[in-house]
Amino acid sequence: MSEGRGGQISQTEGDDEVLRARFYALLSNLLTKPPTPETIDMLRSIEGDDSPMGKALGALAAAARKATPEDIEEEFTKLFYGVGAGGELLPYASHYLTGLLYDKPLAALRGEMSRLGLKGDPKATEPEDHIATVLEVMHTLILGHRGPDGDGCQQSFFRAHLLSWAPMFFTDLEEAENASLYVPVGTIGTLLMEIEEQAFDMAA
């Protein structure tokens, strides 16, 4: 999964698949590590609209304008790293589905990635069931990677490895005590999961 992440989010993007990929990339980027100054500048430039997703994007831009890079890095640390016992949230499928880390959901995800011909970053310090990595897999599938199931791999992967737990994570992120910039990130994630589920249901 060597494709880059990020890029401007636009509500007028003509290519639906590119727009979908950009949403996944944005979330993956923001949940991998604290955003760089360049990413923060990009967030500040986002323009929302009156749709639910547009309002969430506008809230993200407004939060980015109010915060300094140091504020955002501290927020990220409190949410995901923390001190001693770890951050406020544990963004792993295994944690949400079994209450444990490095459990069966991680093994299932690794098996599915192997079946799809995808390999994780060998330099990664997080297990593959981290939310950022799972989002990046969807980004890769949308951009054209095809496994044995062809186009059907997107839906099957989404239902098995995102829909099963990511909505709970994004709700927790929206409600996290230490979240400020990441409140609208949680909202965007929640809305994306709802939109994707509805689209896959209609396509079934």
Distance, in Å, from the CA atom of 24 to the CA atom of 188, rounded to the nearest integer, reads 10
* 121 within some domain: yes
Look up residue 127 and give its amino acid. P
Cα separation, 147 vs 141, whole angstroms? 9
The confidence band for 14, taking pLDDT boundaries of 50, 70 and 90, is: very low
Helix (H), strand (E) at residue 111: helix 104-116
Q: Is residue 131 part of a domain?
A: yes
Question: Does 188 have pLDDT greater than 70?
Answer: yes
182: CATH: 1.10.3480.10
Binned at pLDDT 50, 70 and 90, residue 12 comes out as: very low
In a 10 Å sphere around its CB, with 0-12 CB exposed, 13-18 middle and 19+ buried, how is residue 28 labelled? Answer: buried
CB neighbour list of residue 18: distance below 8 Å, 6 or more residues apart: none
Q: What is the pLDDT of residues 144-174, one digit of tens each?
A: 887 777 778 999 999 999 999 999 999 999 9
C-alpha to C-alpha distance for 123 and 112, rounded to whole angstroms: 20
In a domain, 128, yes or no: yes
123 pLDDT band, cuts 50/70/90, is confident
Range of the domain at 45: 16-203
> Where residue 131 falls among pLDDT bands split at 50, 70, 90?
very high
Q: Indicate whether 167 belongs to any domain.
A: yes
| pLDDT, position 3 | 35
How many distinct structural domains can be found in the chain?
1
pLDDT for 66 equals 97
Task: Classify residue 164: in a domain, yes or no.
Answer: yes
What is residue 83's predicted lDDT score, i.e. its pLDDT? 54
- Quote the CA–CA distance of 24 and 51 in Å, as a whole number: 18
Distance CA 17, CA 43 (A): 21
Whether 1 maps to a domain, the answer reads no
From CA 202, how far away is CA 7, in angstroms rounded?
Answer: 28
Residue 93, domain member (yes or no)? yes
Is the residue at 125 inside a domain? yes
Is the separation of the CB atoms in 52 and 157 below 8 Å? no
